[in-house]
Amino acid sequence: MFAQHIIGLSGLVAAALFILGLKRMSSPVSALSGIIVAGIGMVLAIGISFLDIADLSEASRVHSMSNIVLAISALIIGGGGAWWSSRKVAMTAMPQMVALYNGMGGGAAAAVAAVELARHQAASLIILIVTFAGALIGSISLTGSVIAWAKLEGKLKKPWRFSSQRITNAIVFIATIFIAIAAISLRDSTTSSLLTILFFMGALTFGLMMTLPIGGADMPVVISLYNAFTGLAVGLEGYALQNPALMIAGMVVGSAGTLLTLLMAKAMNRSLANVLFSNFGDIAISSDSGVHGQIRTAEASDAAINMRYSSSVIIIPGYGLAVAQAQQKLYEFVKLLQSAGVDVKFAIHPVAGRMPGHMNVLLAEAGVPYDIIFDMDEINDLFPSTDVALVIGANDVVNPAARTDKTSPIYGMPILNADKAHQVYVIKRGQGKGYSGVENLLFYEKNCSMVYGDANAVLTQMVQAIKDLGN
């Protein structure tokens, strides 16, 4: 009994550390310490769980040592694998890693549910309902996150769709729910085990079918949604296990993930239902009727010299910056401009990159100070008074078609007002379109010039051009 009191108290301490850590993660300044605090909470929660052995019956203790060996082995393999992969992962692959970790969390919750259902078929009705609910959500998160990873990794290059797919998905989901109800109703019979297996098969299948039709443009929102799913699944299984640390941690992660998902959908001016069930990002759907004028080009050195003698520059990073791994060279260029007295700021769109906060992490890796990085709402009004806007590898988030073309799939999406700057330079490898498949009207504006090339190579030329001015 004493061990249970220690476990309960430690669980509450761990939960408090999770909440404090998540709170500190809300600011770039304190994010690192927040991760450390939450990590301490996780270590505490895992370590204290071994005290459960003290309250095991004599019959159960026969297997306790083998279970401890298995648990420690799993911690070493999982922890070692996570440490190695996180050290090796490229910044462009960070969204894929996050998607996989989301899936592993959901899968772990589903696995815990499977064990509990196998051991406690005669549990109370409310515990069974909660366990099945956690199993359903965790299973969907697992297979859905794997598909999200495959799409981001380029393993699945196109959404997979067929006629009547939504109806088929609905049938699979409803059938899975009815199987769960039947398993609960027949929990004292041998049929319940077979129904539970069928339930997991249905839940895992639905996660696949739900995610396969979604286009690559919506993967940032999907990753955030499955993060919320994983948190909710963990919270539900925490209730089933009567574990306060799991309950609180799951609820915090689930609510934070839900809020982030809704904010990202709002940033694209689309409902969550539209993200999940539309054909957005499937094929290039573009009406070129709004395209007027011609594309102008500029040399990297000319663009750099123009920025050197400007008074203000706003830089808009996009996924192309991550692909080129040019964040270090970009910051070197920024420091040269700042030393010449140029006011330099960064503008971040909520859905820039391939996951929430992707660009913020990219800039933080290069050591860019937090106080010159601004969200869209904070900086959009400054563009009309800005000398130069430098767009690096971004597309849809600066496309004026979102304001003017009612036939465009991105119409109504809030964008960064780069086109309102006095001069715009766009670093881009080619004339390709963004995820939405829409022609970017910014490229045809009279105040816009394209600087074609790999971002790292172009920025290297820009840095050299500034340095040459001082020779």
- DSSP-assigned states of every residue in 303-333: HHHHHHT-SEEEEEE-HHHHHHT-HHHHHHH
Supply the pLDDT for residue 136: 95
- The three-point CA angle 202-95-272 to 5° equals 55
Highest mean pLDDT among 148-162, 303-317, 427-441: 303-317
H or E element: which one contains 451? strand 448-452
Percent of the chain at pLDDT exceeding 70: 89
More confident residue, 109 or 358: 109
Residue 233 has pLDDT above 90, yes or no: yes
Active-site hit among 371, 377, 387, 396 = 396
Residue 12 has pLDDT above 50, yes or no: yes
pLDDT class for 284, splitting at 50, 70, 90? very low
Distances (CA, A) of 386 to 312, 421, 441: 6, 5, 20
Residue 440 has pLDDT above 60, yes or no: yes
Phi, psi of 69 (to 5 degrees): -60, -45
Please compute the mean of the pLDDT values over residues 44-73 and round it to a whole number. 71
Burial class, 448, CB count within 10 angstroms (exposed 0-12 / middle 13-18 / buried 19+): buried
Supply the pLDDT for residue 310: 95
Please compute the mean of the pLDDT values over residues 163-181 and round it to a whole number. 91
Supply the pLDDT for residue 288: 52
Residue 291 has pLDDT above 80, yes or no: no
Does the active-site annotation cover 468? no
Please compute the mean of the pLDDT values over residues 346-359 and round it to a whole number. 83
Neighbours of 375 (CB within 10 A): 13
CATH no., domain 288-469 = 3.40.50.1220
Please compute the mean of the pLDDT values over residues 374-392 and round it to a whole number. 94
pTM of the full structure: 0.79
- Domain locations in the chain? 2-277, 288-469
Residue with tokens 């260029």: 333
If we measure between CA atoms, which residue out of 136, 261, 158 comes closest to residue 204? 136
**d(Cα 70, Cα 61) in Å, to the nearest integer?**
14
Integer-rounded Cα Rg, in Å, for the chain is 26
